[in-house]
Amino acid sequence: MNFNEEFSLLLRACYPIIYLPTREEERAEKAIAEATAKLGKRNIYIWDFVNGYQENPNNLGFGKRNPLQALEFITNMPKNAGGVFILRDFSRFLEDIAVSRELRNLARILKSQPKNIIMIAPQVQIPEELSEVITVVEFALPTAPEIKTEIQSLISATNQNLSEQLLNELVRAAQGLSLERIRRVLTRAIATNGKLEEEDVELILEEKRQSIRQTQILDYYPATEQISDIGGLDNLKSWLLRRGGAFSEQARAYGLPNPRGLLLVGIQGTGKSLTAKAIAHHWHLPLLRLDVGRLFAGLVGESESRTRQTIELAEALAPCILWIDEIDKGFAGIDGKGDSGTTSRVFGTFITWLAEKKTPVFVVATANNIQTLPPEMLRKGRFDEIFFVGLPNQVEREAIFKVHLVKLRPHNLGNYDAKRLAYETPDFSGAEIEQTIIEAMHIGFSQNRDFTTDDILEAASQIVPLAKTAQEQIEFLQQWVAAGKARLASKNHDLSDRIQSQLN
C-alpha cells in the first residue's frame, strides 16, 4: 500500500490525529490536498506558529503564536463540518500539558466527526501520553516515477528532448533527494547551459553527497579500492564475484532475489573494511557508511526517528551498499540498561528491516567482538552469509606484501623478497603489514636512500602484533568458527592448526 492509499484510508476511517515525519513540507501538503479532494466536502485549514490559520479569509491569522488556540479552533467547529487541519511543526508544543490534554480531548471528539488533524514535522517527537491517539504515517522520498515526471516537467520549458538513457541516468542519480533539491540542482544546470547534459549527473551526485552529509548519520564514500587490492580471502572474493550481476534486471527475470548482505567477523586490521569498499567499486554501486553510534540522540524518540530516516534514505538510494563498521560496538548495550530501552528499540527496528527488506540495499556489517553481538543478529535471514576473516596465512601475507609494494614501488618490485617477508611475519594482520612497510620507508627516507627488505624486517621486529595482545579474543573467534558458525574467508586455511598455534 503506497502513501496515497494508506493516507486516504485513514481519513475515511476517521483517524483523529495523523503525524507525517518529513522534511518535504510542500510536497506533503500537496499529497494531503490530493487525498482530501477525493473525499469531497472537506476543507483544508493550514496553521503555523508565525501566521496562524491562513486558508480562510474569515479566520486569517487566528491562533497566531498560540498553539492551544489553534486546537480550540478545531474544537469550536460545527460537528458536521468536514475539515483537514494541517499543523506545521506542531510537535514542538506536544510537551505542553495544556496542548497535550486538548489533543486527547479532541481525539475522542473527532472519532465521530469528518475531521482529521495532520501534523507535519521533520522528526517524530511524541510524548508517551499521546502515543495511543497519534498515528504515524511514513512519507517516503520521491519514487523514480515521481522524479521522472518532475524532470520532464522542468525540461518542458527548454524544448529539449532528452534521450531515454540520459533521462534514466538523471533519475537514478536523483533517487534519495527531495523534490526541492532535485528542482534546485536541475534548475541550476539548465540556467548554466540552457539544457541538461550528461555532465549534470555529477552535479546531482554532488547534491546527493551534500544531502547525505547533512543527515550527520550516513557518509557517502567514494569507493576506489578494487577486489585486486585485497590480499588473500579467496573464498570471500569468489563469493562476491559470483554475485556481481545479482542486482541486474536479468537477475530478476531469472528469478534471483536481491542479495541481502554480509557479516564479516574477525579481529582488527584483517581487511573487513577494505572488502566493503571493494564490493562497492566492483559492483558499481554507491557506498554509504553508517556509524551506529550516530543513531542515538538525547531527545526521546529521536534515535528511533534517525533509524527510520537512515533506512528510508538507504532504500531511496537503492541499489547501494550500506556499510556498517564495527556493528558490535554500536549495539553493545542491547540490554537497554540506563537508556530506557532506546538501544533495544533501535536494534529491533534495524534487524526487522534486515529480515524483511525487499529493496536492493546490500548490507556489509563488520564486527571485531562477536561475543557482544546479540544472537538475533546472527540468525539466518538477516545476512546471506557470515564470513570469518582471520589472520592471513603465509601465502596470503606474501600476497598482501606484494599488493602494497606494487603500489609503492611498481618498477622495483623485484628488489623485495616478499616470500621471506611473509615467512618472517607470522600472525601479522594486513594492517600491521602495511604499517611495517610505512615504518621501513621512514627508515630509508631518513638515510636518504630507498627502503629495503631488511628495513621492513627491522620495522616488523619492533611491532607486537595484535595476535599476541588480543590472544584470548582470537582464540574465542577461531573456536567459534570451528564450531561451524561462519564460513572461512580464506582458502587453504587450516583452522585447527591455527588454533593450536595460537594456544601455543
- The pLDDT of residue 297: 62
User: pLDDT per residue over 237-273, tens digit each?
Assistant: 899 888 888 877 788 888 888 889 999 998 888 888 8
- The pLDDT value given to residue 404: 92
Q: Where are the domains of the chain?
A: 3-136, 144-215, 221-388, 394-426+430-464
Whether the CB-CB separation of 86 and 45 falls below 8 Å is answered with: yes
| 144 pLDDT more than 90 | no
DSSP letter at 146 equals H
Q: Is the pLDDT of residue 503 over 60?
A: no
Q: Residue 478: what pLDDT? A: 80
Q: Which helix (H) or strand (E) holds 265?
A: strand 261-265
Residue 461: name the closest of 431, 425, 490, 434 by CA.
425
Is the separation of the CB atoms in 477 and 389 below 8 Å?
Answer: no
| Res 355: pLDDT | 87
Per-residue pLDDT band at 343 (split at 50, 70, 90)? confident
In this predicted model, what pLDDT tens digit does every residue of 11-69 receive, in sequence order?
999 999 999 999 899 999 999 999 999 888 889 999 999 999 987 778 888 999 999 99
- Percent of the chain scoring above 70 in pLDDT: 94
Using alpha carbons only, what angle is made at residue 276 by residues 270 and 278, rounded to the nearest 5 degrees? 95
417-467 pLDDT, tens digit each: 999 999 999 989 889 999 999 999 999 999 999 999 999 999 999 988 888
| pLDDT (0 to 100) of residue 109 | 93
Instruction: Give the Cα separation of 258 and 249 in Å (integer).
Output: 10
User: Residue 10: is its pLDDT beyond 50?
Assistant: yes
Confidence of residue 340 (pLDDT cuts 50, 70, 90): low
Mean pLDDT, all residues of the chain: 86
Domains 3-136 and 221-388 are alike in CATH topology = yes
Measured distance CA(263)–CA(239) in Å, rounded: 13
Quick one: cell of 502?
Answer: 595460537
Q: Which three cell numbers stand for residue 78?
A: 460545527
Q: Are 66 and 99 in contact (CB under 8 A)?
A: no
Do 167 and 144 meet the contact criterion of CB atoms below 8 Å apart?
A: no
- Residue 248 DSSP one-character state: S
pLDDT (tens digit per residue) in 476-486: 888 888 888 88
Tell me which CATH code domain 221-388 carries: 3.40.50.300
Q: What is the DSSP letter of 30?
A: H
List Cα–Cα distances, 16 to 10, 87, 116, 139, in angstroms: 9, 13, 5, 18
CATH number for region 3-136: 3.40.50.300
- CATH assignment of 394-426+430-464, among 1.20.140.10, 3.40.50.80, 3.40.920.10, 1.10.8.60: 1.10.8.60
Query: What interhelical angle do 144-155 and 179-193 show, nearest 10?
Result: 30
Q: What is the pLDDT of residue 502?
A: 44
Per-residue pLDDT at 496: 44
The tens digit of pLDDT for each residue in 385-396 reads 999 988 888 998
Q: How many CB atoms lie within 10 A of CB 150?
A: 17
pLDDT of residue 256: 87
Which pLDDT score is estimated for 500?
41
Q: Indicate if the pLDDT at residue 499 is higher than 50.
A: no
Q: Model pTM?
A: 0.70
Q: Give the tens place of pLDDT for each residue, 211-246.
A: 787 777 888 887 778 888 888 888 998 998 888 888
pLDDT digits (tens, 9 = 90+) for 301-322: 677 778 888 888 888 778 889 9
Residues 170-217 pLDDT 10s: 888 888 888 998 999 999 888 888 888 888 888 888 887 787 877 778
C-alpha cell at position 489: 574467508
CB atoms within 10 A of CB 450: 13
The answer to whether the CB of 212 falls within 8 A of the CB of 219 is yes
pLDDT in tens, 16-26: 999 999 989 99
Question: Using CA atoms, how far apart are residues 294 and 292, in angstroms rounded to an integer?
Answer: 5
